[in-house]
Structure 1
């Protein structure tokens, strides 16, 4: 920020217009922040910040405040307006700040940045996460307007909004759905500001405002707008035809703070829920759960042959990435989706996993630890698993709004989805034998899956291995699954049936995962509020498979509890062998070898050709994007050059010879102004020639004056001679200068419409 300059002679109307245009530029830069918040509170906070910063800069320029006073004004405005605008939940009536609100506001200036990139979006007005855009918006507006009003380089006022837009991109979302609209809106606003600077510089010269000058200004704006529109249309077409990929932002590189691999798998302690002393403990009271629906605790998609877990051991599984959910999530209803509200009261349940159903949209905690639980809540949208770092305990309660998909009535109509789940060990040979018996490979995938589910339900028996039940070993490692397939009768519980069914579903081709949760039984008691009390023994496990439309549907492979028959002797696994040996392959002849070699020779070039085509396509795509980016960056400069060429053409082809002669002199004077000569529009041609210096400009000025003011008018051919002299003088002005100086003069805004200098009388 430069030293303040008196502004007594400055038009306050012009300064206000400058601040309004720059506020528009800052507002378009804020568009890149919208996907992070998607809330009306964000619009209010951004508007308050931009208006406050612009007003501070205007008052500071009008009253010639020093830098320190402007900074103090920004700090005071931040403290006074910050709580109502950026921390509305801590304000009184949405207007007056509270002490706690001020503490949150100050703390958020340092702490909210990391929270913003470790939380699921959109965040709305959650806690103090509106502070980053509010603070940056106020500072950006203040600095931008101050640069425009109090420095000699008003064009540089676009740099702070550009920084604000880049910050929104870096701290924003991975997908770039708003990238194109935000970029185009910001580019249009920047060009509008540059045109305003050019016109404002023309007015600051002191020349007369005539109808011709006004029309010239209008033509320049129209010409620049046309060129910009063509560039935007071309850029939009290229972007729309280019495949959209996830972009790398800060959010995509920051590790989430909740690590599910640090907690025991919910399936590992499954058998403990059926201990006789604890089986009847009331775990949860739930209202809103449909009869027969499962209340999920956690969804697991990673199996290492010993235990099913939430998230892989290497951290690459999508089920292992948890983020905070402060406000809401936008969930698609899908074909079978319905919105469900659950009201849950915690009794004996004590774990980090938050029971729920379907895809979570919003959650509100209650009880004495409501705020603590909200701060510690994390969610994985890929699997619908939620957790609180501090763990749930007796007395906690919450209301959750979710989008639930009804259980599939039949698996026979399903076709496999395309999701990629973490790799798992090979299916044990015993389960492979069951799969061949129950679901031959000749059947469609859906019928094979239905046969597997029916096979476990009809052939299996349930035993938790407790007192009074048939012996049944716990665990779900590969050897336990092999034992499940060979025991006669088949004996186990949901821990083994769910894992075995998930592995067989994956072998068929379905993406599959295991879910642990609670299912109401016939003995489940109703609550006075119309809900149900879920016991510890209501714990259950089932599987989910993905169908072709991307929806995960639940399937229950668990047998209905019934008396277990007497154990039958184990039968060795019979491996069927072919009845007859296959005939040996025919002997290879030289002709066969030659034909195979020819086939391979024909296939190899085709593969190499495909690779070269793919490489060429990638190179052309990258080159096209580079050219597009270069065109967007260069479009404002090209607009200036095109405007000057059009101006020269109009002058040289004017209707009358006198206008062509005057136009020649104006072209020379414009060139001199672009090279930095302090030429003024109100001075005579002789004075302008003297400013440039040298004999040739003075001679040309006298020739032009004589041709314009002579009683008989110009002689035939004077206009061509004047323009030849102008071309020679332009070459003389460019000759001693470097290529960089010549390029700077070519894109200079000084001569657009006049011979512009800065509004303080110095050289622009």
Structure 2
């Protein structure tokens, strides 16, 4: 019983991974089955191979109902499909277990690891306890089971103290029991001495257990516990958001006449006035707002599988359950509200979607690998944050988001005009939102609307705030508001989703579900407050008639008044010299006054130009070196060298603009450092041309250099003239 107690204590770290009654059943069956095999093996003195065969048979017979209950007939009898999943789970379920969000319940074959380890550990421990000359070694298998539960478990230390104390008590009790049995075997001929020895051992063990309990409890509550690292924390998720297009990139396409009225989603249970999120974007490279960090290290880019449910007990907000039917919507991003607790897919593709569902709890964004399509259906339970009635009372939060480019000067000046830096952060945020709603007008650039350019790069945002009237749509207003909120001090991100038109009766079907059409796509922002909540704020102005464009104010240029020099003082000598009859020969032999002034000006200008030439000569030398390097690369003798030279030219330009380009990195890694789709495509094209067995195709080098030129222009477009000059004279690309 003490060995079984050790095994039960070793199973405690596995509980946070499952949090299901199915785990209790699987663990109990594994321990009892292993104990029965060990007892039978000792009773009938089975050889090792027979014990292994019995253990494998128990795994096949009991594994399906205990570890894969969804594949058991009537919950008891194994099925062929269940046996296949059981055998495959012995090899594959370990990786799945550490790349999935917990708790997992009885999802697929993920109960196989604790069941298999429990069965093996129980069989070996009982066999050692009953058949070995060193029964104290029976502590080792439960200890290994305990370590496996810690390594494959979760990062937080829930049940850590309880597990340690329970295992310690059971292990010490077993060691004492072994010592007493051995002492009795030696002193069977002396019962009095044996009884006294037993009493001493029991008393000593009791003292030892008491000291261990007090010491462990004191250490647990008094000493700081370092952050625990487990296998789950070190693995990369299988879903990479950078492999998919940002939902904001194709924002304008939703308002095409052919798409605007097309039903996209039918949502039942959507609270009045609420929208449904498609994805949360927190990474901006000056061109595209996307999901997750561009270096693939941000927590917002880590997506894990969610087969069972998520613990959102610490989340702020109201619990909402929505039922979503997919109509015309087609993308990998799963619509939702707030922080997800549980999602259940229904319909013919339910199992496929459940297997391919991934979720990021930092941003509340979900995705499915095969993508949603017409006919898909799911029910999602979430915790949705409540809005703020008074923005001016908000205080900024402390979350760290991926780095973003500096706010352009014109946006910074407009922010200072709307919300002076002397005001409180909440007051500035409220004033900034009010400014967009007051001065902004909505246009999607359709044929019957005022011209409005799409995109949300920095140059488009500068155009938004400089034109009068201010014309754009959610793509520009949300990005501009997010950047300004970050400048104020609030962690801010962009949300893309659907906002139903509350004035449109067609949004409501007979069944009570809200039907969202393509033209109701919208973008808004979320800001984090000091209490950790992410609050949704809509910076978009109400659609209204756009006034005529204001004429540019003429610049009045006034002619400067001529400043006449004061008359020179005259002396008697001057008066005499002014007489044309006097000293005529002396005047003719001197230098003309205008010529003397001209010579002085030219001399001064020469010295100034010479000084400037000396000052700028090092910078001109750098620019000349880069031009010569570019010429040599472009005129290299072979096409492969010219193609490689084109990529080197782009990488050097990125390094001059401040990107951390590592020389020993691959082209794909360098492209990921710069960010955006263009560099990744160029890196793939260069790799394919360089490593192709037949060499690059005709004209491939010219295409590569044309692409390099376009990417260089995109790198420099959002930057100021001074930043472009600083990149031109930078030594970053000449360092090696």
Partner of 2:417: 437
Q: Is the 8 A contact 1:419 1:546 kept in 2?
A: yes
Of the two structures, which has the highest relative contact order with CA contacts closer than 8 Å and spacing of 6 or more?
1
Residue among 407, 411, 430 paired with 1:427: 407
Query: How far is the alpha carbon of 1:232 from its aligned partner?
Result: 3.3
Unaligned runs of 5+ residues in structure 1 are: 1-19, 574-764
Partner of 1:83: 64
Distance 1:290 1:276 in 2: 28
Partner of 2:91: 110
Partner of 2:384: 404
Q: 1:415 to 1:218 in 2, by over 3 A?
A: farther
Distance 1:221 1:487 in 2: 88
Let me know the Cα RMSD of the aligned residues: 1.7
Partner of 1:554: 536
Partner of 1:742: none
Query: How far is the alpha carbon of 1:52 from its aligned partner?
Result: 0.3
Distance 2:302 2:112 in 1: 26
Partner deviation per Cα, 1:59-84 (whole Å, 9 max, x = no partner): 11001111111111111111111111
Partner deviation per Cα, 1:317-338 (whole Å, 9 max, x = no partner): 1110000001110102545x12
Partner deviation per Cα, 1:601-636 (whole Å, 9 max, x = no partner): xxxxxxxxxxxxxxxxxxxxxxxxxxxxxxxxxxxx
- 50-59 or 36-45: bigger deviation: 36-45
Distance 1:92 1:176 in 2: 37
Residue among 292, 295, 318 paired with 2:276: 295
Partner of 2:21: 40
Distance 1:415 1:209 in 2: 79
Query: How far is the alpha carbon of 1:98 from its aligned partner?
Result: 1.8
Distance 1:110 1:438 in 2: 61
Residue among 547, 562, 565 paired with 1:565: 547
Distance 1:489 1:215 in 2: 99
Unaligned runs of 5+ residues in structure 2 are: 556-736
Residue among 167, 188, 192 paired with 1:207: 188
SS at match of 2:391: coil
Distance 1:420 1:217 in 2: 62
Distance 2:194 2:37 in 1: 34
Distance 1:419 1:478 in 2: 24
Query: How far is the alpha carbon of 1:224 from its aligned partner?
Result: 2.3
Partner of 1:234: 215
Partner of 2:371: 391
The yes-or-no answer on 1:190 pairing with 2:171 is yes
The yes-or-no answer on 1:156 pairing with 2:137 is yes
Distance 1:453 1:33 in 2: 48
SS at match of 2:515: strand
Report matched runs for 1:2-17 at 5 Å. Answer: none
Distance 2:87 2:31 in 1: 19
Distance 1:253 1:136 in 2: 22
The yes-or-no answer on 1:223 pairing with 2:204 is yes
Q: Is the 8 A contact 1:498 1:514 kept in 2?
A: yes
Query: How far is the alpha carbon of 1:440 from its aligned partner?
Result: 1.0
Partner deviation per Cα, 1:657-678 (whole Å, 9 max, x = no partner): xxxxxxxxxxxxxxxxxxxxxx
Aligned residues: 553
Distance 1:360 1:350 in 2: 21
Partner deviation per Cα, 1:515-570 (whole Å, 9 max, x = no partner): 00011012252123211110011111110011111111100000010010111135
Q: Is the 8 A contact 1:175 1:247 kept in 2?
A: yes
Residue among 275, 290, 297 paired with 2:256: 275
Q: Is the 8 A contact 1:428 1:478 kept in 2?
A: yes
Q: Is the 8 A contact 2:4 2:31 kept in 1?
A: yes
Distance 2:288 2:192 in 1: 84
Query: How far is the alpha carbon of 1:243 from its aligned partner?
Result: 3.4
Q: 1:301 to 1:242 in 2, by over 3 A?
A: farther
Q: 1:534 to 1:42 in 2, by over 3 A?
A: same
The yes-or-no answer on 1:509 pairing with 2:509 is no
Distance 2:13 2:293 in 1: 34
Q: Is the 8 A contact 2:70 2:108 kept in 1?
A: yes
SS at match of 1:173: coil
Query: How far is the alpha carbon of 1:442 from its aligned partner?
Result: 1.5
Q: Is the 8 A contact 1:486 1:570 kept in 2?
A: no
Distance 1:310 1:571 in 2: 42
Distance 2:552 2:386 in 1: 40
Partner of 2:599: none
Distance 1:206 1:436 in 2: 92
Distance 1:174 1:209 in 2: 53
The yes-or-no answer on 1:243 pairing with 2:236 is no
Residue among 493, 516, 536 paired with 2:473: 493
Q: 1:56 to 1:489 in 2, by over 3 A?
A: same
Q: Is the 8 A contact 1:415 1:445 kept in 2?
A: yes
Partner of 1:126: 107
The yes-or-no answer on 1:357 pairing with 2:305 is no
Partner of 2:575: none
Distance 1:38 1:362 in 2: 14
Residue among 469, 491, 508 paired with 1:526: 508
Partner deviation per Cα, 1:287-334 (whole Å, 9 max, x = no partner): 011111110000011111111110111012111000000111010254
SS at match of 2:257: coil
Q: 1:209 to 1:46 in 2, by over 3 A?
A: farther
Distance 1:209 1:570 in 2: 114
Partner of 2:649: none
Distance 1:540 1:432 in 2: 25
Q: 1:213 to 1:273 in 2, by over 3 A?
A: same
Distance 1:465 1:414 in 2: 35
Query: How far is the alpha carbon of 1:212 from its aligned partner?
Result: 7.0
Residue among 266, 269, 286 paired with 2:247: 266
Q: Is the 8 A contact 2:282 2:290 kept in 1?
A: yes
Q: Is the 8 A contact 1:488 1:570 kept in 2?
A: no
Distance 1:261 1:372 in 2: 22
Query: How far is the alpha carbon of 1:218 from its aligned partner?
Result: 4.0
SS at match of 1:474: coil
Query: How far is the alpha carbon of 1:230 from its aligned partner?
Result: 2.3
Partner deviation per Cα, 1:398-420 (whole Å, 9 max, x = no partner): 01111111222221121111111
Q: 1:218 to 1:419 in 2, by over 3 A?
A: farther
Partner of 2:568: none
Q: Is the 8 A contact 2:183 2:197 kept in 1?
A: no
Query: How far is the alpha carbon of 1:234 from its aligned partner?
Result: 2.6
Q: 1:122 to 1:520 in 2, by over 3 A?
A: same
Partner deviation per Cα, 1:80-112 (whole Å, 9 max, x = no partner): 111111111111222122222111111111110
Query: How far is the alpha carbon of 1:279 from its aligned partner?
Result: 0.7
Query: How far is the alpha carbon of 1:214 from its aligned partner?
Result: 4.1
Partner deviation per Cα, 1:34-61 (whole Å, 9 max, x = no partner): 1211112111110110000000100110
Partner of 2:453: 473
Partner of 1:341: 321
Partner of 1:537: 519
Query: How far is the alpha carbon of 1:444 from its aligned partner?
Result: 1.1
Query: How far is the alpha carbon of 1:221 from its aligned partner?
Result: 2.4
Partner deviation per Cα, 1:490-517 (whole Å, 9 max, x = no partner): 1100001001111111111111100000
Q: Is the 8 A contact 1:298 1:516 kept in 2?
A: yes
Q: Is the 8 A contact 1:175 1:245 kept in 2?
A: no
Distance 2:466 2:226 in 1: 48
Distance 1:212 1:569 in 2: 112
Distance 1:543 1:193 in 2: 60
Q: Is the 8 A contact 1:487 1:570 kept in 2?
A: no
Q: TM-score, normalised by structure 1?
A: 0.71
